[in-house]
Amino acid sequence: MNLEFAILSFASLFVIVDPIGLIPAFLAMTPQNTVNERIKMAALACAVSFMILLTCVLTGQMIFDVFSVTLPAFEIAGGIVLLLIGLDMLQAKRTQVKETKEEQEEGIDKSDIAITPLAIPMLAGPGAITTAILLNAQAVGISQKLILITNVFMVCAVTFGILALTAIRSQTISVILLKIITRLMGLVLTAIAVQFILNGVVQTMGLPPR
């Protein structure tokens, strides 16, 4: 059970953060920056994203209690958000659920994009925050919560590695390959989103989740 949760949580977080789909925007917003500057911005953005998602994991239950929201309701709502993102990814485009065109254009004009818009909302946006809270609600016991926290760190670390490699090898990146990978990840995210919705509906009907 822990292994299944570990795979689910890592895959869900990695796909929704979508560092591969972020590569074109990252390069477009840093054309005048050196390789070292790009790496430093990526490192800071990933560190900030980790802290935001970790906070969501640790305070997820508090959010339910404060707003009197049930887990099934949040699963359905969160699943719809993830479904919208997944459908956009299937078309190989960055969804406006993560960041708007205006936010991307603002990033192009900024000398340092690490905090905004790279960390917020591109990496730790509504979709990633929703996923972190949903996974925390599904975690059973301390062991799965520790697995989730570890996976949040791992996803942020892998994201930094991808962005750092992008900064170093920016001239050799294939746009076509990026679009193919984005579409595949979109399909996975769409399936995960549908499962979240089904879980919420099943629990609302009083049936045990499958």
Task: State the pLDDT at residue 4.
Answer: 94
Task: State the pLDDT at residue 18.
Answer: 92
The mean per-residue pLDDT over the stretch 118-147 comes to 92
Task: State the pLDDT at residue 128.
Answer: 93
Task: State the pLDDT at residue 71.
Answer: 85
Confidence of residue 126 (pLDDT cuts 50, 70, 90): confident
CA distances from 133 to 127, 155, 191 (A): 10, 15, 18
Asked whether the predicted pLDDT for residue 168 surpasses 60, the reply is yes
Confidence of residue 5 (pLDDT cuts 50, 70, 90): very high
The mean per-residue pLDDT over the stretch 39-56 comes to 96
Asked whether the predicted pLDDT for residue 94 surpasses 70, the reply is no
- Are 20 and 162 spatial neighbours (Cβ–Cβ below 8 Å)? yes
Task: State the pLDDT at residue 1.
Answer: 83
Asked whether the predicted pLDDT for residue 62 surpasses 90, the reply is no
Asked whether the predicted pLDDT for residue 209 surpasses 80, the reply is no
Alpha helix segments (H runs only) across the chain: 2-17, 19-29, 35-67, 71-90, 101-109, 126-138, 141-168, 175-204
Confidence of residue 69 (pLDDT cuts 50, 70, 90): confident
Residue with more model confidence, 89 or 95: 89
Confidence of residue 66 (pLDDT cuts 50, 70, 90): confident
Residue with more model confidence, 96 or 73: 73
- b/e sequence 34-61, b meaning 16+ C-beta within 10 Å: eeeebbbbbebbbebbbebbbebbeebe
